[in-house]
Amino acid sequence: MLNIAILDDYQNAALTSANWDSLQNTKVTVFNSYIQGEDVIVEALSDFDVVVLMRERTPFPESLLARLDKLKLIVTAGMRNFSVDMEFAKSKGIIVCGTPMVSHSTYEHTWALILALGKKIPQENAVMHQGGWQAHVGIGLKGRTLGILGLGRLGSRVATIAHAFEMNVIAWSQNLTDEAAAAHNVKRVNKETLFAESDFLSIHLILSDRTRGLVGENELGLMKPNAFLINTSRGPIVNEEALLATLNNKKIAGAALDVFDIEPLPKDHPIRNLDNVILTGHTGYLVQELYEVVYGQAVKNIQAWQAGKPECRLNN
């Protein structure tokens, strides 16, 4: 009997999104809650041959992999997962497979947050449910400036939608060129100008050594008092302490955050108490079709591995 663990299925979507019954001689166990602490993870997973991961929710560093003696196969959502120690897994004979993803959900979520910020939708929704009427004044998007930090695959799609709202779009990242920006009808600016001129500033970078903490006190201090920050990328790109101080002191109009330094976000985290921030729990990429793609491919990866044809490697 092959023991398969599906980790971090917070929304109870895994079993209904793929045909797990098609796997032969297997037992599938779903963990719906986050398992915290390496010792606890080892105890929970010690009897499993296969682990299915949803992105980077549970890291698998060398210290953890070294203690999971039965583990033979890891399947992760996406073709990139920097939280898995690929070199050590390879040295231990553990095969690591990735799956396709869908990208439209993230830039759709970005725009849901931008619109919610500008139109005061959470506040007005609360007022209406409390019996009130027209308590807040929103702003229009036409003629406003959208700043994009990272004009790659997702950032460029966010820019395309901004043009439909007749917004001005500017962008900056370390490697962005004038030609690449112009290809998306975007003006490349320097980092200081990006933060100083944006009415909405949206982050679309991969977390790496050079992007960690890229948005700090200095960058936030350049933003206009009526500007908004949106982060659907990775929490540590923004210095959390600096962002908390900026929001607490009302130095910008607000923020919308889908990602955080620690996930799941602790229940007592101070950002939960702020009235000028919209929070979602890293759900920007989560839509039903994503689950169907990821878990459907996970089943196929396991079947291929069982058949001795593990044609699956990550892009790390």
Positions annotated as catalytic residues are 234, 263, 282
Whole-angstrom CA distances from 38 to 41, 63, 67 are 5, 8, 10
Q: What is the largest CA-CA distance in the chain?
A: 64
Are 144 and 169 in contact by the 8 Å Cβ rule? The answer is: no
Local structure of 50: helix, strand or coil: strand
Phi, then psi, of 272 in degrees rounded to 5: -65, -20
| The two structure tokens encoding residue 117 | 């910020």
Query: Among 199, 194, 145, which Cα is nearest to 173's?
Result: 194
Burial class (CB within 10 angstroms; exposed 0-12, middle 13-18, buried 19+) of 224: middle
- What residues have CB less than 8 Å from 49, skipping those under 6 apart? 2, 3, 4, 70, 71, 72, 73
Are 298 and 18 in contact by the 8 Å Cβ rule? The answer is: yes
- Give residue for tokens 């702020």: 274
Query: Among 41, 39, 40, 31, which Cα is nearest to 9's?
Result: 31
C-alpha to C-alpha distance for 202 and 233, rounded to whole angstroms: 9
C-alpha to C-alpha distance for 168 and 68, rounded to whole angstroms: 52
Pairing outcome for strands 187-188 and 200-203: unpaired
Q: 3-state DSSP: the chain helix, strand, coil percent, rounded to 5?
A: 35, 15, 45
